[in-house]
A and B are shown apart, each in its own frame.
Chain A
């Protein structure tokens, strides 16, 4: 779960997506193939090599009004095409805090 803030080089080891937070309200969003943002991970554009990742990230960074802090994150893609977060950090961003109680209010 190395913080993406420490992401210095773009090097991906498997299927990845670009994620960010929507500017006006901060919610978690994913870059889509339609050059837009979606709150639904299943709509995220998948990249599979560094060049694709760089291009998707560059396009995401350019959409500064739509979302902020974009970075590349790993995902797992099932045989049925279903996309799941590739690490705990992204799992928490997708499904919420793991602590119950007041945090789930």
Chain B
């Protein structure tokens, strides 16, 4: 966990007071909505279909148990008893009252949580690998660098009014769980030949109306220079990024239109002006941030404790363990992913009761720490293997032990037309129906790793472009129509999916997905060949034929 200092606490508290005054002036009519809108957006407050929506940041996806309890408290006291974890390590509350928002923010501030820059045209929450600090083979904990960037970019006056929102993600593992290639800036932590920490810097990734996979702009930027290099990118973007057309305002468009070579020359030129300035990071700064992260006092534990050996006889436990439990860098410990995708339920939702109970379990079994992943699941990062059977039983009682992590029912979905004012079609009911169709665990396991992503409009909050199967809801002649893509992925081999054919109606989506899956099962060369590999080998055509032959 990271311990905030007095500066952080003061900043967050002052922000609450400031917003309380702004809300008061808005409700009295002293501020018009036009004047107030930018202020509320800077505090994560949107207006959605039914009410205001309040988005709270969970920097680099790390939560302490008192913070999770505070989120549960907000859900219970100010909302309707649940929250929705998003694809960018945030949580959203859907029914918050403007008049009560300052109180909710004040309650969150007590545990160091805020909503600054979770909306608006500024630097959004810096995200990272939810297994940061515990993943085997990780070069070093990327959260130290995430925190450095978070501090530097929070309320940075030069970057508070960018042409459009700006998102950074960081990974330090070979396997990219942070989806860095679909971010405005993606950072891959690496070491140079001298063993010094630095980053491969990628730029111009993003989804939405015009999707792009990020391109490498520099193969190695030394850690001490990373702030100046990011700042150089932001300055070039701030200067040349389009402000005349919201659909062309993201940095991905600028990189595309200039070309990566010209864009990188501009950045290089700017960087040379600022790299030897106060932006150069002293080792002491990094060490100070590092020292504020605390790590558990791990015990020396056996690789295969008796408790785990005995529990292996229970097929239900084994089904959960195989999909939810991942290796930890320390022997005798595991990383446990908590599926927020129960069959038939909205993906990513957790009730206040579940959050409170999970906080208790994290205190008991995971040194008081919880992680949030972009797949809309949670994780307990430090669970002793001997505790896995007991943890599983406790999670099962809470409805949090669905054994479907990375399987076809582990669906990523945006709120869609059920909540979102931008949406054209519903997402969540599609996800619910799909989880019912593939509820049989043996079938889901037979299918293997398969990610479905659903967005209810072209803004792509459900990341449909990079779903192994992507589903995009659009509106056509007043009806919901869904376009299906296959072959996308969000990992280190990120790719955009390809459209399989004409859109299909709401009631047909689950049938189409069943057809695609049946085609895959018939076409794969062996059970180990994953869906993505079959699509890569054969392309879209055989799936298209299967889906449209009878439609």
Bind each other: yes
A residues near B, CB below 8 A?
Answer: 1-5, 21, 23-28, 64-65, 68-69, 87-89, 92-93, 96-99, 101-103, 105
Pair A89/B417 contact, Cβ less than 8 Å: yes
Once the chains bind, are A23 and B346 in contact (CB under 8 Å)?
no
Q: How far is the CA of A98 from the CA of B346 in the complex (A)?
A: 11
Is A25's CB under 8 angstroms from B29's CB?
no
Which range holds the interface residue count of chain B?
Answer: 35 or more
Are A26 and B96 in touch, CB under 8 angstroms?
yes
Complex contact B29–A65 (CB within 8 A) = yes
Closest to B419 in A: A97
- Beyond contacts A27-B51, A101-B344: 13 other A-B pairs, Cβ-Cβ < 8 A, are A1-B424, A1-B475, A3-B422, A3-B423, A21-B51, A64-B32, A65-B27, A69-B47, A87-B478, A88-B417, A96-B50, A101-B346, A103-B428
CB-nearest residue of chain A relative to B473?
A1
- Does B115 make an interface contact (CB < 8 A)? no
Contacting A at CB under 8 A, from B58-113, are: 80-82, 94-99
Query: Which residue of B97, B349, B418 contacts A24 across the interface (Cβ within 8 Å)?
Result: B97
* Contact pattern, B 379-404, Cβ under 8 Å of A = 1, otherwise 0: 00000000000000000000000000
Question: What 10 pairs between A and B have smallest CB-CB spacing?
Answer: A26-B51, A25-B97, A26-B52, A97-B418, A65-B29, A105-B81, A102-B82, A1-B475, A68-B33, A99-B428
7 A–B contacts, CB within 8 A, in A order: A2-B475, A23-B98, A64-B29, A68-B47, A99-B429, A103-B80, A103-B428
Pairwise interchain contact A1-B425, C-beta atoms closer than 8 A: yes
Query: A26-B47, A27-B50 in contact; A99/B351 too (CB < 8 A)?
Result: no
What is the predominant secondary structure among interface residues of chain A facing chain B? Answer: loop
Contacts of B291 in A (CB 8 A): none
User: Closest Cβ of chain B: how far from A15's Cβ, in Å?
Assistant: 16
B164 → chain A, closest Cβ, in Å?
16
Count chain B CB atoms within 10 A of each CB in A26, A27, A92, A98 and give the residue with the most.
Answer: A26
Question: Contacts A24-B97, A64-B29: A102 and B346 contacting too (C-beta < 8 A)?
Answer: yes
Residues of chain A contacted by B81 (CB below 8 angstroms): 102, 105
Of chain B, the residue at the smallest CB distance from A3 is B422
Given that A3-B422, A98-B429, A102-B82 are contacting pairs, would A89 and B346 also be in contact in the complex, using a CB cutoff of 8 Å? no
Quick one: given A24-B99, A25-B97, A103-B349, are A93 and B423 in contact (CB under 8 Å)? no
- Which B residues are in CB contact (< 8 Å) with A92? 49, 417-418
Return chain B residues, CB-CB under 8 Å to A69. Answer: 33, 47, 421
Kindly provide the distance from the CB of A80 to the nearest chain B CB, expressed in whole angstroms: 24
B242 beta carbon closer than 8 Å to chain A? no
Interface centre among B50, B81, B98 (most CB of A within 10 A): B50
- Taken together as a complex, chains A and B put the C-alpha atoms of A88 and B82 apart, in Å, by 24
* Residue-wise interface mask of B (126-168) relative to A, using a CB-CB cutoff of 8 A (1 in contact, 0 not): 0000000000000000000000000000000000000000000
With a CB–CB cut-off of 8 A, which chain A residues contact B95? 26
Instruction: Give the docked Cα–Cα distance between A23 and B24 (Å).
Output: 12
Q: Which residue of A lies closest to B432 (CB)?
A: A99
A92 vs B421: C-alpha distance when bound (angstroms): 11
B98 close to A1 (CB less than 8 A): no
Q: Which of chain B's residues have a CB closer than 8 A to the CB of A101?
A: 344-346, 349, 432
CB contacts (< 8 Å) of B424 on chain A: these are 1-3
Residue B26 lies at the interface, judged by CB distance under 8 Å to chain A: yes
CB contacts (< 8 Å) of B432 on chain A: these are 99, 101
Residues of B within 8 A of A (CB): 26-29, 32-33, 47, 49-52, 80-82, 94-99, 344-346, 349, 351, 417-419, 421-426, 428-429, 432, 457, 475, 478, 480
- Inter-chain CA distance A99–B423, complex, in Å, is 15
Q: Are B349 and A102 in contact (CB under 8 A)?
A: yes
For B29, B32, B49, B422, which residue has the most chain A Cβ atoms within 10 angstroms? B49
Q: How far does the Cβ of A103 sit from chain B's closest Cβ, in whole Å?
A: 6
Interface pair B346/A99, CB less than 8 Å apart: yes
Q: In the complex, what's the smallest C-beta–C-beta distance from B41 to chain A, in angstroms?
A: 13
Task: State whether A26 and B50 are in contact (beta carbons under 8 Å apart), knowing that A102-B82, A103-B349 are contacts in the complex.
Answer: yes
A93/B50 in contact, CB under 8 A: yes
Bound: A21/B421 CA distance, A: 11
Cα(A68)–Cα(B26), bound, Å: 11
By the criterion CB–CB under 8 Å, are A23 and B418 in contact?
no
Question: Contact check: which of B28, B50, B99, B480 meets A88 at CB < 8 Å?
Answer: B480
Verify A103–B47 contact, CB threshold 8 A.
no
Residues of A within 8 A of B351 (CB): 102, 105
CA distance A98 to B94 in the complex (A): 14
Please give, as numbers and ranges, the residues of chain B lying within 8 Å of A99 by CB-CB distance.
346, 418, 428-429, 432
B291 to chain A, nearest CB (A): 40
Known: A1-B417, A64-B33, A99-B428. A21 touches B47 (CB 8 A): yes
A24 to B344, CA, bound (A): 34
Which residues of chain B are within 8 angstroms of A97 by Cβ–Cβ distance?
Answer: 50, 418-419, 428
List chain A residues, Cβ under 8 A from B480: 1, 88
B51 lies within 8 A of A98 (CB): no
Q: How far is the CA of A100 from the CA of B475 in the complex (A)?
A: 23
- Give chain A nearest CB distance to B45 CB in angstroms: 9
Residue among A27, A64, A69 having the largest count of chain B Cβ atoms under 10 Å = A64
Known contacts A99-B346, A105-B351; decide if A1 and B478 are in contact (CB<8 Å). Answer: yes
